[in-house]
Amino acid sequence: MAAAAAAAAAAPPPEVKRRRRIVLFPLPFQGHINPMIQLAHILHSKLGFSISIIHTKYNLPNPSNHPSFTFHPISDALSENEEPLLDPILTIKLLISSCTLPFHHCLSQLLCHHRVVCLITDAIWYFTQAAAEEFGLPRVVLRTSSVCSFSAFAAFPLLRDKGYLSNRDSKMEDEIRELPPLKVKDIPLIKTKNEEDVFEVIENMVAETKKSSCLIFNSFQELEGPDLAKLKQQFLMPIFCIGPLHKYISAASTSFLTQEMSSISWLDSRAPKSVLYVSFGSVAAMDEEELAEVAWGLAESKQPFLWVVRPGLVRGADALPDEFLSEVRERGHIVKWAPQQEILSHPAVAAFWTHSGWNSTVEAVCEGLPMICSPFFGDQMVNSRYVNDVWRIGIKLERGMERGEIRDAIARLMKGREGEEIRERGVCLKEKASLCLSEGGSSYLALDGFVDLISSFDESLV
Ligand code: UDX
């Protein structure tokens, strides 16, 4: 009864404008905001939908960078926190518990004033499925990471049943027969105080996604075709790979930190294909010892490098040793945040040492850049295994941050025959990434299919 009353209260009065509108609700982190806002721009500028973005006050994107959209900030527990939380799972749980009611209220207000075709939310905002059902609104899920890592998350109950999740320390190198080529050490877990919290978030994300009307990925058929086919057997709603989304609009307009343009002028002064670009994304954190290993690995490689040391990357002091700074003065450039997409397409850049966040991975694939992978947590574990073993376009560091392995991987990638072969496979994949967006390509057709689906939602609106 309460649900029916709420839905009736939310029904638009007859005078409501009839323009087709889509409401989007991104998770407020860099790697999630970028693809969601990119999707919003595609829906608006290519397909003519009006766009409303519901957003937490925490990490609110700058509305003036997106004047065609309306922004609807909702309160959340994080924006009131003085200190950022370091635990990603506790952060997500706090966001979910504090946003559920404000989101519901905001959506009901929007439904009072607009003809809304559907709601598109990040997969991690799993509580929005119940609200969408209550209001009779189709919910589309944008999973901002890879198909392969989502499949690994969806397999958690199986991994638990088969015993892969218990006593992991003793069997890290064991292969997971049911999910080749993953090993136990690649299970996309996230360190947190109580591991049950991770399972709760992941299992809710998967279960509520299964109830949604459609699932979309920032990926493409030629990259993840086999995993996509398997996922379609388990998840019965329409699934579309419509990426790479950043090829439509760059991430610069959604960057929370100022991108230091000195990186580009520094790259302009370097020889073609000579520089290693190093960045571990917007969330990953390391301790001071790991920072020192990264620094000395770079120094011992003797290669030119451009390194993003973001505020918060280091738990503790992020000052780099003077000895290191003087050793690399002639060939290293360090910035706090960079225009990553411009860097990856710069002719001076030869390779990318990454944490294997999905946006970084897709951006590198689109430039045909070979990667060194140092995953920290979650989906990064699976993405990096696929870069190393399946697509074979990079080298995964298997021993964490260890200067000898770092130095050797840089040499393998930037000097030897092995590096050339990796680079050739990367160039092949770059061509496929570019073709999939052109007329008749896989993502082009998937976007058409997605739009047809949304249009069918629209037709079913009374
Ligand atoms: C997070 C998770 O860590 C990641 O595993 C998940 O796949 C997405 O959410 P993040 O760590 O920020 O993302 O990594 P990533 O997905 O690579 O996204 C980072 C984005 O920031 C990219 O679009 C990249 O171009 C941009 N970026 C990064 C910059 O603009 N400047 C930089 O200096 C570094």
Q: 89 C-alpha to center of ligand 1: Å? A: 17
Arithmetic mean of pLDDT over the chain: 93
Contacts 24+ apart (CB under 8 A), 423-427: 423/368, 423/370, 425/391, 425/392, 425/393, 426/365, 426/368, 426/369, 426/370, 426/393, 426/394, 427/368
Query: Is residue 268 domain-shared with residue 400, that is, in the same domain?
Result: yes
**What percent of the chain is predicted at pLDDT more than 90?**
87
Q: Can you tell me which residue has the tokens 């993953």? A: 182
Query: Is residue 448 domain-shared with residue 412, that is, in the same domain?
Result: no
Residue type at 90 in one-letter notation: L
Tell me what pLDDT residue 254 has. Answer: 87
pLDDT surpassing 90 at residue 316: no
Nearest CA to ligand 1 atom 34: 281
Residue 7 lies in a domain: no
Residue 322 banded pLDDT, cuts 50, 70, 90:
very high
pLDDT digits (tens, 9 = 90+) for 58-68: 999 999 999 99
Which distant-in-sequence residues (6+ apart) come within 8 Å of 210 by Cβ?
A: 235, 237
pLDDT surpassing 70 at residue 462: no
Residue 222 lies in a domain: yes
Tell me what pLDDT residue 16 has. Answer: 44
Residue 434: CB atoms within 10 Å:
14
Residue 304 lies in a domain: yes
Of residues 6 and 219, more confidently modeled: 219
pLDDT digits (tens, 9 = 90+) for 75-125: 998 887 766 667 889 999 999 999 999 999 999 999 999 999 999 999 999
Length in residues, the chain:
462
Tell me what pLDDT residue 459 has. Answer: 78
* Sign of the torsion formed by the C-alpha atoms of 54, 71, 3 and 239: negative
| Residues near ligand 1 (Cβ within 6 A) | 29-32, 34, 144-145, 251, 255, 259, 279, 281-284, 308, 337-338, 340-341, 357-360, 363, 378-380
223-237 mean pLDDT: 97
Which pair of structure tokens corresponds to residue 362?
């897709």
Tell me what pLDDT residue 370 has. Answer: 98
> Which of 44-48, 213-217, 236-240, 262-266 comes out lowest in average pLDDT?
44-48
Tell me what pLDDT residue 63 has. Answer: 92
* For the CA of 30, the nearest atom of ligand 1: 12
Residue 10 lies in a domain: no
Query: Is residue 287 domain-shared with residue 230, that is, in the same domain?
Result: no
Name the residue among 435, 378, 392 with its Cα closest to residue 145.
Answer: 378
Query: Is residue 399 domain-shared with residue 457, that is, in the same domain?
Result: no
> Which of 27-36, 120-129, 315-324 comes out lowest in average pLDDT?
315-324
Phi/psi region, residue 146 (left: phi>0; alpha: psi -120 to 50; beta: rest), is beta
pLDDT digits (tens, 9 = 90+) for 392-403: 999 999 999 999
The CA–CA distances, whole Å, from 9 to 107, 108, 112, 145, 454 equal 12, 8, 8, 36, 24
Residue 241 banded pLDDT, cuts 50, 70, 90:
very high
Residue 9 lies in a domain: no
Query: Is residue 294 domain-shared with residue 333, that is, in the same domain?
Result: yes
Query: Is residue 215 domain-shared with residue 276, that is, in the same domain?
Result: no
Residue 3 banded pLDDT, cuts 50, 70, 90:
very low
Calculate the dihedral angle through the C-alpha atoms of 394, 399, 403, 405, rounding to the nearest 10 degrees: -50
Phi and psi angles of residue 255, each rounded to the nearest 5 degrees, phi first: -70, 130
For the domain that residue 412 is a member of, what is the CATH number?
3.40.50.2000
Tell me the C-alpha distance between 141 and 25, whole Å. Answer: 10
pLDDT surpassing 80 at residue 373: yes
**What percent of the chain is predicted at pLDDT more than 70?**
95
Residue 362 banded pLDDT, cuts 50, 70, 90:
very high
Residue 212 banded pLDDT, cuts 50, 70, 90:
very high
Query: Is residue 344 domain-shared with residue 424, that is, in the same domain?
Result: yes
Tell me what pLDDT residue 85 has. Answer: 66
Domain count, the chain: 2
pLDDT surpassing 50 at residue 324: yes
Query: Is residue 71 domain-shared with residue 184, that is, in the same domain?
Result: yes
Query: Is residue 120 domain-shared with residue 217, that is, in the same domain?
Result: yes
Nearest CA to ligand 1 atom 5: 357
Query: Is residue 95 domain-shared with residue 205, that is, in the same domain?
Result: yes
392-419 mean pLDDT: 97
Tell me what pLDDT residue 7 has. Answer: 44
Give the mutation target among 27, 29, 30 for probing the ligand 1 site: most ligand atoms within 8 A of CB: 30
Query: Is residue 242 domain-shared with residue 330, that is, in the same domain?
Result: no
Residue 308 lies in a domain: yes
Q: 457 C-alpha to center of ligand 1: Å? A: 32
* Sign of the torsion formed by the C-alpha atoms of 217, 222, 223 and 228: positive
Residue 12 lies in a domain: no
> What is the domain range of residue 109?
18-252+438-461
HEC string of the chain equals CHHHHHHHHHCCCCCCEEEEEEEEECCCCHHHHHHHHHHHHHHHHHCCCEEEEEEECCCCCCHHHCCCCEEEEECCCCCCCCCCCCCHHHHHHHHHHHHHHHHHHHHHHHHHHEEEEEEEEECCCCCHHHHHHHCCCCEEEEECCCHHHHHHHHCHHHHHHCCCCCCHHHHCCCECCCCCCCEHHHCCCCCCCCHHHHHHHHHHHHHHHHCCCEEEECCCHHHHHHHHHHHHHHCCCCEEECCCHHHCCCHHHHCCCCCCCHHHHHHHCCCCCCEEEEECCCCCCEEHHHHHHHHHHHHHHCCCEEEECCCCCEECCCCCCHHHHHHHCCCEEEECCCCHHHHHCCCCEEEEEECCCHHHHHHHHHHCCCEEECCCCCHHHHHHHHHHHHCCCEEECCCCCCHHHHHHHHHHHHCCHHHHHHHHHHHHHHHHHHHCCCCCCHHHHHHHHHHHHHHHHHHCCC
318-332 mean pLDDT: 95
Query: Is residue 163 domain-shared with residue 48, that is, in the same domain?
Result: yes
41-48 mean pLDDT: 91
150-154 mean pLDDT: 98
Tell me what pLDDT residue 83 has. Answer: 63
Name the residue among 191, 190, 166, 160 with its Cα closest to residue 178.
Answer: 160
* For the CA of 344, the nearest atom of ligand 1: 25
Tell me the C-alpha distance between 273 and 270, whole Å. Answer: 9
pLDDT surpassing 90 at residue 46: no
Q: 380 C-alpha to center of ligand 1: Å? A: 11
Angle at 60 between CA 45 and CA 106, to 5 degrees: 80
Please state the pTM of the whole predicted model: 0.95
Tell me what pLDDT residue 163 has. Answer: 96
Residue 8 lies in a domain: no
